[in-house]
């Protein structure tokens, strides 16, 4: 049984740009285009059944990793050539007819998305924080915390214990507030360069594998001629705040995964 693996949609008006020679999902057959009105789908044939794919997906992490990266690398290459709507990993069709039906019933949304994305790039910003260093700073520099600390010293030992605990919690809270307002400020400044800016979830350390905690994760849709200014602003923050325990990471241009996420 053969399935159709869908990588992305491009405007048919750009489909005269030839596809580079790219190997498909099973590393064998090449990618090709199917034009459906204004929308052109970039696909490949996959000789696998629904069951095999589902099974692999559930049970073989290495396979999944390899294929997820294949999907990403393929879409990334295509992004360099076309205005492109990336599809989610493993979007599969049983037949060309079925793909045609889906495209036809989503023509309008696809057209809107193309006009949003044309000439723009997706960039990702992540800010990491050395919590310990910042916590120490807050604890030593805040006048209200200093005053409270002196008050506590005068208390009886039993009371001291509980008050210190409360104070730790208070400092933790201050730390979180400080992180949020710091990152929000940067986000707003970067957003002025963008058409859209979205805040994403912070991943925990198990996911990132880093020592510092992720404090901010956001994505921007930038007009191509704003990218340079965006990076300049970003680097300005990086130079100013790296010494005080912050780490900055900008990456891009990505396929516009976050700005073309409509559901049919």
Which residues contribute to the site for other proteins (CB under 8 A)? 3, 6, 9, 50, 53-54, 57-62, 64-65, 68-69, 71-72, 85-95, 98, 102-103, 106, 113, 124, 200, 203-204, 206-210, 227-228, 231, 234-235, 249-255, 257-258, 260-264
Q: How far is the CB of 244 from other proteins (least distance, A)?
A: 21
User: In this structure, are residues 5 and 24 in contact, taking their beta carbons and an 8 Å threshold?
Assistant: yes
User: In this structure, what are the phi and psi dihedrals at residue 93, rounded to the nearest 5 degrees?
Assistant: -125, 150
> With respect to other proteins, which residue has the nearer C-beta, 102 or 137?
102
Tell me the CB-side half-sphere exposure of residue 60, using CA atoms within 13 A: 12
User: In this structure, what are the phi and psi dihedrals at residue 89, rounded to the nearest 5 degrees?
Assistant: -50, 135
Q: How far is the CB of 6 from other proteins (least distance, A)?
A: 7
As a whole number of angstroms, the distance between CA 6 and CA 36 comes to 13
> With respect to other proteins, which residue has the nearer C-beta, 60 or 184?
60
> With respect to other proteins, which residue has the nearer C-beta, 85 or 134?
85
As a whole number of angstroms, the distance between CA 38 and CA 110 comes to 9
As a whole number of angstroms, the distance between CA 76 and CA 118 comes to 16
As a whole number of angstroms, the distance between CA 79 and CA 253 comes to 9
> With respect to other proteins, which residue has the nearer C-beta, 16 or 59?
59
Q: How far is the CB of 57 from other proteins (least distance, A)?
A: 5
> With respect to other proteins, which residue has the nearer C-beta, 63 or 161?
63
Q: How far is the CB of 258 from other proteins (least distance, A)?
A: 5
- Both tokens of 90, joined, read 């493993």
Q: How far is the CB of 196 from other proteins (least distance, A)?
A: 14
């Amino acid at each position: 049984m053969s399935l159709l693996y869908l990588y992305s949609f491009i405007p048919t008006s750009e489909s005269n740009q030839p596809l580079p020679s790219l190997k498909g999902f099973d590393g064998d057959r090449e990618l090709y285009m199917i034009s459906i009105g204004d929308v052109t789908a970039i696909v490949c044939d996959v000789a696998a059944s629904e069951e095999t794919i589902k099974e692999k997906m559930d049970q073989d992490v290495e396979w999944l990793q390899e294929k997820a990266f294949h999907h990403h690398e393929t879409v990334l290459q295509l992004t360099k050539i076309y205005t492109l709507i990336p599809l989610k990993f493993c979007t599969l069709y049983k037949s060309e007819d079925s793909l045609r039906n889906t495209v036809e019933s989503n023509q309008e949304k696809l057209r809107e998305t193309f006009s949003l994305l044309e000439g723009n790039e997706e960039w990702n910003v992540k800010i990491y924080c050395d919590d310990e260093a910042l916590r120490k700073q807050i604890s030593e520099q805040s006048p209200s915390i200093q005053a409270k600390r002196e008050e506590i010293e005068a208390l009886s030992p039993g009371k001291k214990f509980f008050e210190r605990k409360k104070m730790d919690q208070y400092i933790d809270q201050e730390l979180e507030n400080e992180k949020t307002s710091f990152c929000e400020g940067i986000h707003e400044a970067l957003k002025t360069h963008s058409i859209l800016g979205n805040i994403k979830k912070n991943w925990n350390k198990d996911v990132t594998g880093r020592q510092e905690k992720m404090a901010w994760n956001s994505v921007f849709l930038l007009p191509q001629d704003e990218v340079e200014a965006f990076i300049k602003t970003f680097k300005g923050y990086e130079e100013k705040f790296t010494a005080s325990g912050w780490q900055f990471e900008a990456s891009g241009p990505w396929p516009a995964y976050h700005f073309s996420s409509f559901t049919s």
